[in-house]
Amino acid sequence: MKSLQHFIASMEKHKPYIAMVIIQFIYTGMSLFSKAAISQGMKPSIFVAYRQAFATLALAPFAFFFESKKAHPLSFKVLCKMFFISLCGVTLSLNLYYAGLNYTSATFATAITNTIPAMVFIMAVCLRIESLNITHWNGIAKVFGTIIGLSGAMVFTFYKGPALYPENGKEISGHSSRVYTREEWIKGSILMLAANLTWSLWLIMQAPILKQYPAKLRLTTLQCCFSCVISTLYGAAVERNISSWKLGWDVNLYSVAYCGIVVTGLSYWLQVWVVDKKGPVFTAIFSPLALILTAIFSAILFKDTFHWGSILGAVLLVTGLYSFLWGKNKEAKNHANDQKSDQSKEEVALECITYTSSASNDLGGEGETKK
């Protein structure tokens, strides 16, 4: 009985870790399903339109029931801001991402997302949202991590190197993988980096809009809805063949349903829960796991060949990410300690003032008694 209680207590303690591993498996599935659908000829604009439609349908009931009591007034100005953010962030970013996925591998798409923290940091510093102090180790670590991470992205893009294992070993399985030309790879890489850039901008724009409309779930649902409408209009303009929009019981349907319901719906709840329990840095630490899982499954399912350039780029990306996260975490701890120090100083000062005041009163009382 005690061993069972100990096991349950241990599981309770490790719930955030289990949740983050599940999230990384979900993201791995997103990369693989998306790559499979795009490789089958599904247009990126159509994929985004269906994905956002499924996401809206998955989130809308929860947004209605869970945030109905704390609903916030939605002004026309805030609604316009949401529409603009959905256009520049979600819609543009996803369309660029899936367009780039057509020219690169699923592993590269997963690896390159590790540049997002560095991009957010650069934008935040340029917009003076975040401070940078290179006289402290935390500031140096953030700058070092940013440089190393972006260098890893460049190495991953422009340096291929020799194959990690002989390519003729794949012929035994009878499957052939797509061979990307250098021009295709660079084109896909630029599209992926542009997608990360717009996504980073979207992340920065979330903070001010959340102050005006704090209902997170409703905000996410509305942005998914706007993105669905915009993507549908854009997709209808660039792809007028009705047959391209038809979904059968195939990988295209499974991919958009998975990305919309599981990725946007389930992973959203899990990530919010983990952030509440452990903080945002804890969630970011696990992101390289998705890269490892995607690389393994891509080699099995898509017969991807890995090169030493990709390995070097991935190592630099992960090193840069962890360096940046260490600096960010150190900065947060220093800030918390400074606040505690200031609070304790204020308490000491208040005690001194109180003591001085009471001492003065006592002295005044004694003087009156003597008189």
- Tens-place pLDDT, residues 37-68: 998 888 988 999 999 999 999 888 888 887 77
pLDDT in tens, 68-123: 766 677 888 889 988 998 888 889 999 999 999 989 888 888 888 888 888 888 88
Predicted TM-score (pTM) of the model is 0.77
Q: What is the pLDDT of residue 225?
A: 92
CA 79, 82, 84, 86 dihedral sign is negative
Give ∠ CA 78-81-85 in degrees, rounded to 5: 140
CB-neighbour burial class of residue 351 (10 A; exposed 0-12, middle 13-18, buried 19+): exposed
Please compute, for residue 178, the number of CA atoms within 13 A of its CA located in the half-sphere on the CB side. Answer: 19
For residue 241, CA distances in Å to 244, 246, 341 come to: 6, 10, 65
The helix/strand/coil state of 163 is strand
Torsion of CA 216, 217, 219, 224, to 10 degrees: 140
Closest residue by Cα to residue 220 from 82, 48, 19: 82
Mean pLDDT of 13-34: 87
pLDDT in tens, 282-311: 777 777 888 888 888 887 887 777 778 878
Q: What is the pLDDT of residue 361?
A: 45
Mean pLDDT of the chain: 78
CA distance 79 to 267: 25
- Higher pLDDT, residue 172 or 78: 78
CA distance 258 to 36: 12
Q: What is the pLDDT of residue 50?
A: 93
Question: How many CB atoms are closer than 10 A to CB 332?
Answer: 14
pLDDT in tens, 244-261: 888 888 899 999 999 999
pLDDT at 127 over 60: yes
pLDDT at 132 over 90: no
